[in-house]
């Protein structure tokens, strides 16, 4: 099987990183096609973990990203009554071991940095390209776009996210996104609206459990001027249907009623932190609402000359904060497999699958496990969760200053050490 030319569908983290790694490590030529008319992301801010930051360093963008995001990795847990249940640094051990920590960054800033570096490598993304069909004749793969243009290459990378057309049209039409039962409401607000007493408390990630779900707040720029707050909670599938229109009715309700709903959730919040959370809600004028979907595990990741990367293959709930890092790991591994031009595509794709399956499964299971703490509970359930967390923090502190838990195991993993 020839593999001199590739088509990359999707200009998100997986697509751009795959392009950059191919440019860095192979002689393969490629074109990146993106559906939207310009670089676009979901709103909000994402967290990047050490394993992902190390790969971004290898792409040459880590230092630039650090100038755009907030790298304070402390997690401070507050009770609703206002006391601090504990403080931990989830990535301290990883940071010490590998030199990379944590970064919270506005999504669009992250993509801008990646795209700027890609442009410097001579990579341009073709926008407004909606994939319409894929024809794999065994010798090459041809795509047709909505505007009537076509392209043919030796292989195709489907980096087009959870609702992937590459997966639906060709690789595995039987796999469809499933709603997880958890949704996220949130906003980014200027710290200047919050007053000095609130801003002085805001360093790292602040978490408060409530009976309805989990409230989190954190700065997402280097100078603590932009504050992201999110509320993750159980939301049943809307009666109006599990599709865009069905959610639109529910989304409107959430977005229009967020202030009264959130102030009701936080009604019993006390102390300085309780007042800070309420102030954040009061000072927010608009929110975004995301129902969280995932892909069922076990679908095909490749067929013929097409391979899925990132969310197109294995979208998982964001509660292990590993989605982007998983896409980067995919991209890096694939480029290493393609470095050896003696291998067949079949061999490359199946080796990719073999190396990635267990790792992705383990991270996705952790994300599912973490989702439990976002679910609705009664007063005793909340008390139990808070006690369990206090006890865990006490245990970690007593055992040593660093947490060596599952998150640390995921964080220190280096995909480039996998034998290919």
Ligand X SMILES: Cc1cc2nc3c(=O)[nH]c(=O)nc-3n(C[C@H](O)[C@H](O)[C@H](O)COP(=O)(O)OP(=O)(O)OC[C@H]3O[C@@H](n4cnc5c(N)ncnc54)[C@H](O)[C@@H]3O)c2cc1C
> Considering only residues 47-86, where is the footprint of ligand X by CB under 6 A?
47
Stretch touching ligand X by CB under 6 A, among 112-120, 159-167, 205-213, 333-341: 159-167
> Considering only residues 234-293, where is the footprint of ligand X by CB under 6 A?
290, 292
Regarding 204 and contact with ligand X (CB under 6 A), the answer is no
Stretch touching ligand X by CB under 6 A, among 76-84, 205-213, 310-318, 343-351: 310-318
Regarding 171 and contact with ligand X (CB under 6 A), the answer is no
**Tokens (6 digits) for 76:** 């401070």
How far is Cα of residue 117 from the mean position of the Cα atoms in its chain? 20
In angstroms, the CA 235 to CA 179 distance is: 10
Regarding 219 and contact with ligand X (CB under 6 A), the answer is no
Find the binder of ligand X among 35, 91, 198, 281 (CB under 6 A): 35
DSSP string, 248-296: HHHHHHHHHTHHHHHHHHTTT--HHHHHHHHHHHHT----EEEEEEEPP
Regarding 301 and contact with ligand X (CB under 6 A), the answer is no
Regarding 159 and contact with ligand X (CB under 6 A), the answer is yes
Site string for ligand X, 105-144 (x = CB under 6 A): ------------------------xxx-------------
DSSP assignment letter at 66: H
Q: Which residues of 132-168 are buried (b: 16+ CB within 10 A; e: fewer)?
A: eebebeeebbebebeeeeebebbbbbbbbbbebbbbb
Contact 326/24 with Cβ under 8 angstroms? no
Find the binder of ligand X among 7, 8, 11, 102 (CB under 6 A): 11
Regarding 158 and contact with ligand X (CB under 6 A), the answer is no
List all residues 6 or more positions away from 299 whose beta carbon is below 8 Å from its beta carbon. 167, 172, 174, 175, 313
Query: Which residue, 246 or 271, is less far from ligand X as judged by CB?
Result: 246
Query: Interface residues with ligand X (CB under 6 A)?
Result: 9-15, 33-36, 42, 46-47, 129-131, 159-161, 165, 184, 290, 292, 310-312, 318, 321-325, 327
């Amino acid at each position: 099987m020839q593999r001199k030319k590739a088509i990359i569908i999707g200009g998100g983290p997986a697509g751009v990183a795959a392009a950059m790694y191919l440019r860095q490590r192979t002689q393969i030529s490629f074109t990146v096609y993106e559906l939207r008319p310009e670089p676009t992301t979901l709103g909000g801010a994402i967290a990047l973990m050490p394993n992902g930051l190390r790969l971004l360093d290898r792409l040459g963008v880590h230092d630039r990203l650090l100038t755009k995001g907030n790298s304070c990795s402390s997690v401070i847990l507050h009770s609703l009554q206002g006391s601090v249940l504990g403080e931990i640094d989830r990535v301290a051990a990883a940071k010490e071991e590998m030199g990379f920590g944590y970064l919270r960054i506005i999504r669009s800033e992250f993509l801008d940095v990646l795209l700027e570096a890609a442009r410097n490598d001579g990579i341009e993304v073709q926008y407004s390209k909606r994939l319409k069909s894929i024809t794999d004749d065994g010798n090459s793969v041809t795509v047709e776009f909505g505007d009537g243009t076509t392209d043919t290459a030796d292989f195709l990378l489907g980096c087009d996210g959870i609702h992937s057309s590459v997966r639906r049209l060709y690789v595995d039409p039987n796999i469809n996104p499933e709603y997880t039962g958890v949704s996220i409401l949130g906003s980014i607000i200027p710290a200047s609206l919050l007053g000095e007493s609130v801003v002085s408390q805001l360093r790292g990630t602040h978490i408060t459990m409530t009976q309805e779900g989990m409230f989190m707040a954190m700065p997402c720029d280097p100078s603590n001027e932009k504050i992201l707050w999110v509320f993750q909670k159980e939301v049943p599938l809307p009666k109006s249907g599990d599709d865009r229109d069905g959610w639109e009715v529910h989304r409107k309700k959430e977005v229009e009623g967020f202030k009264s709903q959130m102030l009701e959730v936080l009604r019993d919040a006390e102390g300085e932190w309780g007042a800070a959370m309420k102030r954040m809600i009061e000072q927010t004028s608009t929110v975004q609402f995301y129902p969280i979907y995932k892909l069922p595990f076990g679908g095909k990741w490749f067929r013929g000359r097409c391979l899925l990367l990132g969310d197109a293959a294995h979208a998982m709930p964001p509660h292990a904060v590993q989605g982007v890092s998983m896409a980067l790991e995919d991209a890096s591994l694939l480029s290493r497999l393609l470095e050896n031009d003696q291998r067949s595509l079949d061999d490359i794709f199946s080796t990719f699958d073999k190396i990635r399956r267990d790792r992705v499964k383990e991270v996705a299971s952790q994300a599912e496990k973490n989702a439990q703490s976002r679910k609705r509970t009664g007063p005793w359930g909340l008390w139990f969760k808070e006690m369990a967390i206090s006890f865990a923090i006490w245990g970690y502190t007593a055992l040593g200053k660093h947490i060596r838990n599952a998150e640390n195991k995921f964080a220190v993993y280096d995909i480039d050490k996998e034998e290919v």
